Amino acid sequence: GQQLNQSPQSMFIQEGEDVSMNCTSSSIFNTWLWYKQDPGEGPVLLIALYKAGELTSNGRLTAQFGITRKDSFLNISASIPSDVGIYFCAGQGSGTYKYIFGTGTRLKVLA
C-alpha cells in the first residue's frame, strides 16, 4: 500500500535554529497537508498544499509541494521551545478520500 516516509525520524536543535524535514513517497499525491501533534492531543493542521511546486508559508513555517508530486518539505525558521512536538505529513491521492499519514518527525528544541 501507499507509504509516506519522513526524515529525519527525530531531531534535537538549539532554539533559534532553522529546521528542515521532508516526506517522500513512491506514489503521486494531489494534496499534501502538514500537521503538528503535541502529546495526548490531536493533529493540528499547519499548512495545506494543492499544486506541484507550490510554496506556502504560515508564519515561521514554509512548506513545498515537490515537483514530482511524490514529496513535500517543511521548514521552520528561528525555532522556539513551543515548536516541540511531532510533525506529520499527510498525502491525498487521486480518486480517494483518505489521507495517508507519514511516519512523523519528532522535534525537540533545546533552550
Partner 1 sequence: EPEVTQTPSHQVTQMGQEVILRCVPISNHLYFYWYRQILGQKVEFLVSFYNNEISEKSEIFDDQFSVERPDGSNFTLKIRSTKLEDSAMYFCASSGQGNTEAFFGQGTRLTVV
The site for partner 1 (CB under 8 A) is made up of 31, 33, 35, 40-45, 48, 50, 88, 90, 92, 96-104
Beta carbon nearer to partner 1, 98 or 108:
98
Nearest distance in Å: CB 53, partner 1: 18
Whether residue 107 contacts residue 11, with contact meaning beta carbons closer than 8 Å, is answered with yes
DSSP 8-class letter at 27: S
* 55 versus 78: smaller Cβ distance to partner 1: 55
Residues with Cβ within 8 Å of 42's Cβ and at least 6 positions away in sequence, in order, are none
Nearest approach, Cβ of residue 16 and partner 1 (Å): 29
Residue 56 · residue 48 · CB < 8 Å: yes
